[in-house]
Amino acid sequence: MSVSRMEEVVRLEQVKRHYHVGDEMVHALDGISFSIQKGGYWAIMGQSGSGKSTMLNILGCLDRPSSGAYWLNGVNVAEMDDDELSDHRLKNLGFIFQSFHLIPQLTVRENIEVPLLYLGLPAHERSAKANELAERVGMAHRLKHLPTELSGGQRQRVAVARALANDPAVLLADEPTGNLDTATSIQIMGLFQELHEQGKTVIIVTHEPDIANYAKSRIVLKDGRVATITEAAI
Amino acid sequence: MSQLFYVWPFVRLGLADVWRHKTRSFLTMLGMVFGVASVIAMLAVGEGASQQALESIKRLGSQNILLSSEKPPESSGSGAGRSKLAMYGLLYEDEQRIRETVPEVLLTVPARMVRRNTRFSDRQMELRVVETEPTWFDVVDRPLLAGRVLRTHDLEVNANVCVLTELGVRRLLAAEEMVGQLIRIGSGTFEVVGIVKNAEGGAVQAPDSEADVYIPISTGKKLFGDTVIRYTTDGHPEGERIELGQIIVKMSSTEAVEAGSKAMEAMLARFHKKRDYKINVPLTLLREAERTKKTFNVVLGAIAGISLLVGGIGIMNIMLASVTERTKEIGIRRAIGARKSRIIVQFLINTCVLSIGGGGLGILLGVAIPMVITLTTDMPTVIQPYSLFLAFGISAGIGILFGLYPAMRAASLDPIEALRHE
Ligand SMILES: Nc1ncnc2c1ncn2[C@@H]1O[C@H](COP(=O)(O)OP(=O)(O)O)[C@@H](O)[C@H]1O
Ligand SMILES: [Mg+2]
C-alpha cells in the first residue's frame, strides 16, 4: 500500500514525563523524539514499566508532557486547553483498553452510542450508527446485553465498535489483547488490520511480539527512552 | 430540541441510578419530601388564614368599628337579696356622643340582641332577636333573599315588622312562603317582610352571625323596654338592663378607623366607671390574623428551610458517594472526549432526578397535609397552585445547588487516574 503524500499526524520532541512519588522522581518518559505519519500502523513495545502506557496516554491527549513538545497536526498540545483536548479526543481519536472499559450500567447499544451522544447526534441517527457498528464487529445480536453478560472477546469487540463510532483518524490501543485468549486475540487483530487497510492510523501498545508483528512499524522503549525504531517504508 | 436528545439519556441514566439504589435514594429524598411538603402546607395554611380574615373584613367592613356591651368582671349587684338587677353596657347616650364628638364618623348603627319566645302557628321556640335600625343592612352585608329589609319608616312608626334570616326560617320549621306571614315575638305580633342570608362563620364573628330575626329597635324598645328578666334555676328572678348590645360605627374611610377607635376608647373610658364594653376593629383583627399567619410561616418556614438544607446535604453526600462509585465511568467518558462541562451536566441531571423525585413525593404529602388539617381542625387551608410550581423550582434549585460540588469534583478528576480506579 502506498500513500502519495506523507502527512505527519503527531511529532514528539524531547518529551519527558515524570511523576513525583514521595521524595523520588520517576521518569516514566525521559526524552522521546519521534513522529508518526498518517496511515501508519505502529506497535509500541517494551518491558513492563518502560513507559508504553504513559506514551500512549500522551499521544491520546489524556496526559500532557512534563517537558518537551508534542505537535498534533501542527499544533503544540501545550497550548491547547482541556476542552480543546477533549474535543480532539472526541472527533479524531478512538481508544481501546486492555480491560475494555465499557460503562457497566449501560447496554452494548448505549455504550456504543456514548461518543455519538457527545457528538450531538439525534437519537435515530445514534441508533442507526450503533446498529451498523455492532454489525461490523459481529455484535449485532447482543445490543441489549449488559457488558457483564458478555465474554472478554465480545466486550473488546464492543469497545472497538465504540472506538470507531466517531470515525476516528487515529486508533490507540493499550494492550488490547492482554486479557484475551489467542483465538480471540487473532480476531481482534484482524479488525485492526482491516482498519489499517481502510487508512486509519493505528497505534498499539503491547509487550507480545506476536501481536507487534501485525504492525508495520515498531518503537521499542526501555526505561522511558527509545531503544529502537523500525519504521516501515509506506 | 437537540438539547433534549442530549439530556434525555442522562435523565434515564439518573433514573436508573436512583432505581438501582432504591432504599438509599428514598432515604436521601426524605429531607426534600418534608421540606417541599412544609412549603406547600405553609402556603396553604397561610392562604387559608388570610382568606378567612379577609372574608371577615368583607363581612364586617374595613371601615367599621364594632362596640359591644360586656358584663364587667364583678357585677354582683346589691348582693343582699337573691334577686339582682345588673345594669351595664353601652348607652343610647354613648351612640349620640360618638356621633357628635368623634370626627370622621359616617354613621352609627345601634343594636340589641335578646332571646325571646316566639310563636308561629302552633310552634313555640326561643329566637335570637336583633333590634336595630335599617342602616344595619347598609353596614353589614346580608344579601336579601325575599321581600325587603327594614325601612326608616318602620322605625318612625314603630311598625310591627320583622326580617327573618334563613336560619330563623329553618328554626321556625316554616315550609311555606314566609313573607307576609305573622309571627308572635314576646308580647307583639310581627309581620314578616323579608328574608336575608345568614353570615357565614369565620375567625371574626359578625355581631349577628347567629341571629334569627330583625325588628326595628324603636318597636322593640316600646314593646319590651331595656330590661330582660330571667328566672334562675331555683326560681329567683335575675335581671339585666342593657340599653344597647352593640353599636356599629362606620368611619368615612379605612384610614380613619385607627384614630376613631382610639377616640371612642378614650370617650367610653371617661363615661363608664366599669369596663363594660369592648371595642373590636375588624382591621386590627385582620392584622392579628396576619400576625398569626406570620408566626405560622416562621415556624413552617424554619421547618421547610431546615428540611431542605438537610435534604440538600443528604443529596450532596449521596452524590459524592456516587462520584466515587462511578469514578471509572467518568474516566471512560473523559477518554472518549466528554468535556468537563458535560460531566458536570450529567451529575447535575442525576442530582436533579433525586431532588425532583423527592420534591414530587413532597408535593403529594404537601397536598395531603392541608387536607388533613382542614378535616381534623376547623382551620381553613387553600392550596395555592403556584406553590406546586414553587416546590418544583425549589427541588430543581436544591438539586443544582447541592449537586454542583459533587459534579465539579467528578469533572475535575484526572482521566487517567479515574480510568485506573477500581
Ligand atoms: N501515576 C503515576 N504515578 C507514579 N508513577 C507512575 C504513574 N504512572 C506510571 N508511573 C510509573 O511510570 C513508569 C512507566 O509506567 P507505564 O507507562 O505504565 O509503563 P508500561 O505501560 O510500559 O508498563 C513506571 O515505572 C510506573 O511505575
Ligand atoms: Mg501499561
What is the Cα–Cα distance from B213 to A142, expressed in whole angstroms?
Answer: 86
B12 is a domain residue: yes
Where a domain ends, among B246, B275, B304? B275
* Residue predicted with more confidence, A170 or B302: A170
Q: How far apart are CA A15 and CA A34, in angstroms?
A: 9
B11 and B78 in a single domain? The answer is no
Do B253 and B304 lie in one domain? The reply is: no
Contacts of A122 in chain B (CB under 8 A): 2, 5
Copy the grid coordinates of residue B398.
Answer: 436544591
Grid coordinates belonging to A185: 486475540
B23, amino acid identity = T
Q: Which residues are within 8 A (CB) of B368 and not within 5 positions of it... i.e. 6 or more apart?
A: none
Region of poorest pLDDT, from B50-59, B189-198, B220-229, B334-343: B50-59
* pTM, two decimal places: 0.72
Which residues of chain B does A110 touch, with a Cβ-Cβ cutoff of 8 Å?
9
Same domain as B210, residue B175: yes
Residues of B354-377 as b/e, b for ≥16 C-beta within 10 angstroms?
A: bbbbbbbbbbebbbebbeebbeee
Task: Provide the number of structural domains found in chain B.
Answer: 2
Write out the three cell numbers for B381. Answer: 387551608
Do B90 and B219 belong to one domain?
Answer: yes
User: Which residue in B has a C-alpha nearest to residue A57's C-alpha?
Assistant: B416
Most confident of A120-124, A166-170, B1-5, B277-281: A166-170
Same-domain status, B413 and B375: yes
Contact call for residues B245 and B69 (beta carbons, < 8 A): yes
Please answer whether residues B375 and B53 qualify as being in contact, where contact means their C-beta atoms are separated by less than 8 angstroms: no
Query: Do B16 and B135 share a domain, yes or no?
Result: no
Same domain flag for B225 and B130: yes
User: Are residues B255 and B294 located together in one domain of the fold?
Assistant: no
A26 lines ligand 1 (CB under 6 A): yes
Give which of B49, B33, B27 is closest to B369, Cα–Cα.
B33
Please, are residues B320 and B312 in contact by the beta-carbon 8 Å criterion?
no
Contacts of A123 in chain B (CB under 8 A): 5, 8
Which of A136, A140, A154 has its CA nearest to residue A195? Answer: A136
B2 — pLDDT class (breaks 50, 70, 90): low
Same domain, B138 and B261: yes
Cross-chain CB nearest to B339 (options A83, A93, A113)? A83
Interface test with B, best of A99, A117, A162 (most B CBs within 10 A): A117
Q: How far is A35 from chain B (nearest CA, A)?
A: 22
Ligand 1 proximity of A51 Cβ (cutoff 6 Å): yes
B266 is a domain residue: yes
**Residues B313 and B350 occupy one common structural domain:** yes
CB of A234 sitting under 6 A from ligand 1: no
- Under 8 Å between Cβ of B307 and B398: no
Residues B308/B32, Cβ–Cβ less than 8 Å: yes
What pLDDT shows up at residue B88? Answer: 83
How far is the C-alpha of B43 from the C-alpha of B370, rounded, in Å? 9
- Range with lowest mean pLDDT among A190-194, B77-81, B210-214, B364-368: B77-81
The string of pLDDT tens digits covering residues A111-163 is 999 999 999 888 899 999 999 999 999 999 999 999 999 999 999 999 999 99
A43, A206 contact by CB (below 8 A): yes
| The predicted structure's pLDDT at residue B79 | 46
**How far is B191 from B147, CA to CA, in rounded Å?**
11
φ/ψ of residue B61, rounded to 5: 85, 130
How far apart CA B367 and CA B355 sit, in angstroms, is 18
Q: List, in sequence order, every residue forming a beta bridge with B86; answer none if it has no partner.
A: B240
Q: Are B111 and B248 in contact (CB under 8 A)?
A: yes
In sequence order, which residues have a C-beta less than 8 Å from that of residue B337 and are 6 or more positions away?
A: A86, A87, A88, A89, A90, A91, A93, A115, A118, A166
Nearest CB partner across the interface for A101, out of B6, B332, B341? B332
Output DSSP code: residue B90.
Answer: B
Q: Which grid cell sits at B43?
A: 402556603
Q: Which residue has the cell 491527549?
A: A61
Whether residues B126 and B237 share a domain: the answer is yes
Same domain, B120 and B228: yes
A183 touches ligand 1 (CB under 6 Å): no
Give phi and psi for A107, each to the nearest 5.
-75, 170
Cα–Cα distance measured from residue B225 to residue A3, given in angstroms and rounded to the nearest whole number: 124
Residues of chain A with Cβ-Cβ distance to B419 below 8 Å are: 62, 97, 101
Q: Give the closest residue (by CA) to ligand 1 atom 13.
A: A28
Which range has highest mean pLDDT (A131-145, B139-153, B197-211)? A131-145
- Candidates B336, B412, B421: best to mutate against A (most CBs of A within 10 A) is B336
Q: Which residue has the cell 467528578?
A: B410
CB B371 within 8 A of CB B288: no
Considering the domain boundaries, does residue B61 fall inside one? Answer: no
Q: How many angstroms away from the CA of A2 is the closest CA of chain B?
A: 31
Last residue of a domain, one of B215, B245, B275: B275
**Residue A207: CB atoms within 10 Å:** 16
Domain annotation covers residue B149: yes
Q: Mean pLDDT throughout B299-303? A: 82
Q: What is the pLDDT of residue B80?
A: 44
DSSP letter for each residue of B215-245: EEHHHHHHHH-SEEEEE-TTS-EEEEE-SBS
Range of the domain at B293: 2-56+288-420
Q: Which residues of chain A have pLDDT under 70?
A: 1-6, 233-234
Query: Which of these three, B207, B242, B275, is where a domain ends?
Result: B275
Residues of A engaging B, defined by a Cβ cutoff of 8 Å: 57, 60, 62-63, 82-83, 86-91, 93, 95, 97, 101-106, 110, 113-115, 117-118, 120-123, 162, 166
Q: What is d(CA B194, CA B164) in angstroms, rounded to the nearest whole number? A: 6
Q: Does residue B66 fall inside a structural domain?
A: no
Distance from CA of B417 to the nearest CA of A (A): 10
Using CA atoms, how far residue B203 sits from A208, B58, B286, B289, in Å, is 89, 12, 10, 9
Give the pLDDT mean for B139-148. Answer: 83
Domains of chain A in start order, with CATH, are 38-64+81-230 (3.40.50.300)
- The answer to whether position B224 is within a domain reads yes
User: Is B131 domain-assigned?
Assistant: yes
Q: Is A49 in the pocket of ligand 1 (CB under 6 A)?
A: yes
Predicted confidence at residue A205, as pLDDT, reads 96
